[in-house]
Amino acid sequence: MIPILELKTQYAEIQQELEEAVLEALRGTHYILGSQVSAFEQEFAHYHGQDDAVGVGSGTEALHLALRALELKPGDEVLCPTFTFIATAGAVGLAGGTPVFVDVDPCLYALDPKLLEEKINPRTRAIVVVHLFGHPAPMGPIMEIANRHNLVVIEDCAQATGAAYEGKKVGTLGHFGCFSFFPSKNLGGLGDGGMVLADTPERLDAVRMLRGHGSRVKYYHEVLGTNSRLDTLQAAGLRVKLRHLDRWNERRRAVAARYTEHLKEVVSVPGEAPDSYHVYHQYTIRVPERDQVKAELAEKGVGSMIYYPVSLHLQEAFRDLGQTEGSYPVSEKAQKEVLSLPMFPELDEARQDQVIEAVQAVTATRVAKAG
């Protein structure tokens, strides 16, 4: 079976430098924060053309703490796409706000700027934008609307580390950039981890304070924060992996280009907007009868995944928001048709060919049947 994601080849490729770095941190016995975390914060910030960054416990916590920094009051609304991972809107709820869903663009799956303004009212405080599957959201129009209404923009960059919009890296386009180092992400750690970038030192300081129990001076607490720091051993491993990120993203793009070349006639392939550097966290096609296609691909030894089968407005966890089926048609159609194919930098051409041939065969029988 060709898996949707495989980490073993990558591990073998960087085993020596990775193990040396982690072992050095392990033997250093400074396990919370310390020089590894601050060095990685600096390196990650510099990679983004920024001066500083704050390492946190996960991507979810990155979003949560950025939203906490806004000091939301009950009833404050935060706009976010409905076609995304739960953490995007979950973090809004955790930070005391109310998520207000917006439908997505059918091609890029990003929050559709045309639908934003009708959702803005005096209670609206912020927008969480998601660069889903590694494709940057249309930040130009989104920032224009946000600035006009004085809204804070938080970028959920969990799936898009290294992606760029008009030559600028995602995470530096809005007011906060939130990243995840969950092992399957483009820059994946050896466990959970996350990072926050911000456009001002004040915003970043607020997050840094919140990650350490609301304190700047030890045992003096200004607000109720939490304990959510990037782990030292994770930072040591991530410093090594960051050095390979651009090369890995280029390889993802090469795999995607090859898939697209051979599949564009038979299925709906992912779009790439001009001026966008897509990093293909997922390669997601659209097919009718998706569940059967998935099963038939599995019979041919090709793994695939459904990101995501249920839009957030239809999730049990958000039932209190009283949303019903039919209110977000683009997202509801996408959840029935999306299928993500195997995608990782080390996917060699032989296995790419197997995926391509399987998708062609499965869709050819359908076309024949339909004819």
Ligand X SMILES: *Cc1c(COP(=O)(O)O)cnc(C)c1O
The binding site for ligand X (CB under 6 A) comprises 58-60, 84-85, 87-88, 130, 156, 158-159, 180, 182, 192, 194
Which residues, in sequence order, are CB contacts of 253 under 8 Å at separation 6+?
A: 278, 279, 280
Which residues, in sequence order, are CB contacts of 254 under 8 Å at separation 6+?
A: none
Nearer to ligand X among residue 58 and residue 363 (C-beta): 58
* β-bridge pairing 276-277 and 124-130: unpaired
Smallest separation (angstroms) from ligand X to the CB of 295: 25
Smallest separation (angstroms) from ligand X to the CB of 189: 9
CA angle (307, 308, 310) in 5-degree steps: 165
Nearer to ligand X among residue 106 and residue 191 (C-beta): 191
CA–CA separation, 283 and 179 (whole Å): 20
Smallest separation (angstroms) from ligand X to the CB of 160: 9
CA–CA separation, 361 and 354 (whole Å): 10
Smallest separation (angstroms) from ligand X to the CB of 289: 26
Nearer to ligand X among residue 159 and residue 323 (C-beta): 159
CA–CA separation, 63 and 14 (whole Å): 30
Smallest separation (angstroms) from ligand X to the CB of 94: 11
CA–CA separation, 173 and 156 (whole Å): 11
- Which run of H or E residues covers position 298? helix 290-299
The burial of 5, by beta-carbon neighbours within 10 Å (0-12 exposed, 13-18 middle, 19 or more buried), is given as middle
Residue nearest to ligand X (CB): 59
Nearer to ligand X among residue 47 and residue 85 (C-beta): 85
Smallest separation (angstroms) from ligand X to the CB of 342: 18
Nearer to ligand X among residue 41 and residue 156 (C-beta): 156
Nearer to ligand X among residue 41 and residue 296 (C-beta): 41
